[in-house]
Amino acid sequence: METTYYLSPIGLMEIKGSEQGIASVIFIDTVTGVIPNPPCLRECVTQLDEYFNKKRKKFTLDLDVSGSEFQVKVWKELLKIPFGKTTTYGDLADAIGEKEAVRAVGGANGKNKISIIIPCHRVIGNDGKLVGYAGGLWRKQWLLEFENDNKQIALEYND
């Protein structure tokens, strides 16, 4: 597994992957030492840069996800949420044919290790409030506003 880093407008991101695909893109606080630039991760860095420069709305990377069958099902459904749109945990549960599994969908969403590329930030609470984002709710709000041409999203944080 190779590692590199990307400095996004909302913080430092650690990218891990191999020739099989991208395995994780997570926010971190710091990096020490030399920053590698492995060939298998360069396209991910390029596409993230395009995304943050409003030149890309959909990622076309090979992904190397690891999780339960249910988690993978949820993550595949997340990939269908268009740039600039949101859905709810309930709607996501309906979409995968697991209407009663709203909490489990939320749990799977929270275990997504490939931030932004698998757009878990586009899922909001059934009450329209911002809930659950591993990168912090302020980043989730920033991403939603960024994808909506910086229009302030009238969403409240759940405590």
User: Which amino acids are annotated catalytic?
Assistant: 120
Whole-number Cα distances in Å, 16 to 45, 114, 123:
11, 9, 24
Whole-number Cα distances in Å, 20 to 17, 78, 90, 113, 120:
7, 20, 32, 16, 22
The three-class DSSP label of residue 142 is: helix
How far is it, in rounded angstroms, from Cα 117 to Cα 58? 8
| Amino acid identity for residue 114 in this structure | I
Q: Are 118 and 75 in contact (CB under 8 A)?
A: yes
